[in-house]
Amino acid sequence: MRGIVEITSVTDAKNAVCTVLTDFPLGSTDATWRWAEGSWSDYRGWPKTIAFHQQRAVYGGSDSYPAALWFSALGADYYDDFTAGALDTDAFWYHIPGQNPIQWLISSDYLLIGTSSSVGKYGKQGQAITPSTPSYQEQSEHGAADIQAVTAGDIVIYAERGARKVREFGYALQYDKYTTPDLTILSEEITDPCVIEMTFQARPQPTLWCVLSDGEIATLSYHREQLVAGWSRQSTDGDFKSLIATPGSGTTPAGETWLEDCLWAVAERTVDGSDNTYIEQITPVEWGDPNYCFFVDSGAGLTVDGSDANFYDGLEHLIGETVGVYADLESLGDYTVDADGMVEIGSGYTTVIAGLKYYSKLETLPLKIVDMSNRQTQGVRIADKKITALHFDLLDTYYLEYGMGANSTPKTMDFEEIISDTVKFSRVAFPFGTYVKPTIYIQTNKPVPLGLRGIFPEITYYRSN
């Protein structure tokens, strides 16, 4: 009878002391040549990735066997059974041709595999994987970085080797194979210096979140069926180290239910001279009651200190920091958190939110608008354009600043109350310079909402012969 033992010490080349790990005793302790070292150990290394595919646990890649796949026996009761056999339900292992390390596994209609030199699929359409039918097919030579890929609907998104490019991996009917289009081709600098982790948020809007090695986050608004893919970047007073999106729901402080994927971040911040690691939740997009909208980092809802109604506490994690305060639909300004984790803002406030402020910034692409009214004018060309006014389509907005580029002195729009019940079209003058390709720049650093749904410029043309 065979069994599993753990070698605890070696006496000489032919003798060793072992501990029996199986529930049954060994059939004999006599010398035998019928033994084999396990594939996984502290010495040989352990698998670096796992997936559950067709009722099997599949492990991929180790230090000693970087291109190996280990398939468990079939069935949820056998995920830990890797005893090889000839039956279709038995466990088996497979070595992908070459020695390129397996970086990730994704279960889809095939078992999708990313290695450092290529990405491919394992299995056959409509057939179960068995020990007698191994089949690996390389699909693209755009290899994968050592970062777990994510699923976005019926598409896999992964970081290419080098961790600068982000690619789709999905079936393309016109090529009758899986292809890997580059999602960063229009914004190659967005992932600089490199991606270290990715997660995908399906609700309320499909968004890919990429943690970067410099502590910032690059996000991709990803509506594949609408051919929309737009990048942006998030930074904080500190460094983001990790991020995860989990399905779920919750209840706002006002008792309203929200149905969005929860986003949790690990952030490192230097506070009061000490380095601290925080686990923070990114608040939902649909925050409900505007009294409870968090537009601060590492924020907290404050309560009145029992000994003095002018002081509000709840900021023990931000002692010594300057925070922005939002109370009863009003931005109160900046305050310093005292040694007790409190701020003195005056009495009488019902709902108070405070945290680290940040800038939200948007700059349009250069406006390239053809003057169709004079397109037949011979010998005349458009030399410059001047934006004379802007119409903003706003919703859930309290304050914004606008200008011509990041270096201009911005103008402000400050409303007496938050626009939340109806769409607001606001026309404002645009007293800035004249440019061939003007841009529109919008920003805010107040801890209040800004919902920008559209910008409609009025433009004056200047011509020269």
CATH class of 49-244: mainly beta
pLDDT over threshold 80, residue 425: no
3-state secondary structure the chain: CCCCEEEEEEEECCEEEEEECCCCCCCCCCCCCCCCCCCCECCCECCCEEEEECCEEEEECCCCCCCEEEECCCCHHHCCCCCECCCCCCEEEEECCCCCCEEEEEECCCEEEEECCCEEEECCCCCCCCCCCCCEEEEECCCECCCCCEEECCEEEEEECCCCCEEEEEEECCCCEEECCECCCCCHHHHCCCEEEEEEECCCCCEEEEEECCCCEEEEEEEHHHCEEEEEEECCCCEEEEEEEECCCEECCCCCEECCCEEEEEEEEEECCEEEEEEEEECCCCCCCHHHCCCCEEEEEEEEECCEEEEEECCHHHCCCEEEEEECCEEEEEEECCCCCEEECCCCCCCEEEEECCCEEEECCCCCCCCHHHCCCCCCEEEEEEEEEEEEEECCEEEEEEECCCCCCCEEEEEEEEECCCCEEEEEECCCCCECCCCCEEEECCCCCCCEEEEEEEEEEEEEC
Residue 419 has pLDDT above 70, yes or no: no
Among 15-24, 244-253, 448-457, top mean pLDDT goes to 448-457
Residue pLDDT, tens place only, 186-236: 899 999 999 999 999 998 889 999 999 999 999 999 988 888 889 999 999
pLDDT digits (tens, 9 = 90+) for 439-450: 899 999 999 988
Evaluate if residue 427 carries a pLDDT over 90. Answer: no
Q: Where are the domains of the chain?
A: 1-35, 49-244, 250-358, 361-464
Q: Give the pLDDT of residue 377.
A: 42
pLDDT in tens, 146-176: 999 999 988 999 999 999 999 999 998 888 8
Quick one: average pLDDT of 403-413? 82
Q: What is the pLDDT of residues 111-151, one digit of tens each?
A: 999 999 999 999 988 889 999 887 899 999 999 999 999 99
Least confident of 4-18, 55-69, 172-186: 4-18
